[in-house]
């Protein structure tokens, strides 16, 4: 019994000599994992169009009911996103958000992702309901965000077709990007091209 006490006390004394595992916060910061779920970011395509098509899937998936969306039709003069609608109002209530990432998983266009900003404290509760301008990436800086660490990056041949403006939708798209494409044409009709399988076999008899 007592030699165990001596052994225990020797262990604790040895622990005094080891370096503490504390990370002294403001002076040092922890290295975050690539899939760290911090503040949300609304992404754009490379050509400047917003990815969010106002489909309400993220608001539906959110377990804390933190996302509020009002969608608005894209018109010829004002085309904001690549689909039929865009999100005119996109509010995320950070006080309700539990940072689970379900909105990121639900989004079909990869519009909303959770990035690595965790310094979100504020003195006023009103400041913690983030509006679309605070969440959206600025014009010139379209990124994919943390979506690229959730799956292997697509191979070279399947580069995501960037939807162009003023194109006609012909109904032959068959990928998730079709949800965001809506009335917009893409540069290439499908992601992979396989001559044998993909020939158009519709025949009018």
Partner 1 sequence: MLDFLNNIIVASVIKSAIVIFALLTAFAYMTLIERVIVARIQGRLGPNRAGPFGVFQPVADALKMAFKEQIVPSQAKKLIYLVAPVISVVVALCAFAVVPIGNNWSGDPSKPSVWDPFIGDINVGLLWILAISSLAVYGIVLGGWASGNRYSLLGALRSAAQMVSYETSLGLALSGVLMWAGTLSMVGIVHAQMAGSAQGPGVWFILAQPLGFFIYIIAGVAEVNRAPFDLPEAEQELTAGYLTEYSGLRWSLYQMAEYINMITVSAVASTLFLGGWSFFGLERIPLLSILFFLIKVAIFLFMFIWLRATLPRIRYDRLMRLGWQVLLPLAVLNVVITAVIVTVMAQFQLPLWQGVLANGLIGLAVVLLVLFMMRRKSYVEQTRFVENAAQGPVVMPASVRLAKFERIAPPAETAQEQKAVQA
Structure tokens at 186: 């893409």
Least distance to partner 1 from the beta carbon of 30, Å? 15
Query: Interface with partner 1 includes 1 (CB under 8 A)?
Result: yes
Query: Interface with partner 1 includes 22 (CB under 8 A)?
Result: yes
Order of strands across the sheet that contains 85-93 = 67-73, 85-93, 129-130
Task: Count Cβ neighbours within 10 Å for each residue of 38-68 and write b for 16 or more, e otherwise.
Answer: bbbbbbbbeeebbbbbbbebbbebbeeebbe
**CB nearer partner 1, residue 15 or residue 166:** 15
Give the binding range for partner 1 (CB under 8 A) out of 20-28, 56-64, 80-88, 126-134: 20-28
Work out which of 8, 48, 60, 63 binds partner 1, going by CB under 8 A: 8
Contact between 104 and 10 under an 8 Å Cβ cutoff? The reply is no
Q: Of 155-174, which residues contact partner 1 (CB under 8 A)?
A: none
Structure tokens at 21: 């595992």
Contact between 78 and 110 under an 8 Å Cβ cutoff? The reply is no
Query: Interface with partner 1 includes 20 (CB under 8 A)?
Result: yes
**CB nearer partner 1, residue 5 or residue 204:** 5
Residues that bind partner 1 (CB under 8 A): 1-3, 5, 8-9, 11-13, 15-16, 18, 20-22, 24
């Amino acid at each position: 019994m007592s030699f165990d006490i001596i052994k225990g006390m020797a262990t604790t004394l040895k622990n005094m000599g080891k370096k503490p595992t504390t990370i002294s916060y403001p002076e040092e910061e922890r290295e975050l994992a690539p899939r760290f779920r911090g503040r949300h970011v609304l992404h754009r395509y490379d050509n400047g169009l917003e990815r969010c098509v106002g489909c309400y899937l993220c608001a539906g998936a959110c377990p804390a009911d933190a996302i509020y969306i009002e969608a608005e039709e894209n018109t010829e003069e004002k085309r904001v996103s690549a689909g039929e609608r865009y999100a005119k109002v996109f509010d995320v209530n950070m006080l309700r958000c539990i940072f689970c990432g379900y909105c990121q998983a639900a989004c079909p266009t990869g519009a909303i992702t959770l990035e690595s900003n965790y310094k979100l404290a504020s003195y006023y509760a009103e400041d913690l309901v983030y509006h679309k301008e605070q969440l959206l990436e600025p014009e010139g800086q379209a990124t994919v965000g943390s979506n690229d660490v959730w799956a292997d990056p697509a191979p070279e041949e399947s580069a995501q077709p960037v939807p162009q403006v003023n194109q006609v939708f012909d109904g032959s798209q068959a990928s998730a990007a079709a949800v965001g494409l809506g009335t917009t044409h893409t540069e290439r009709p499908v992601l992979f091209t396989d001559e044998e399988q993909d020939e158009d076999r519709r025949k009018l008899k």
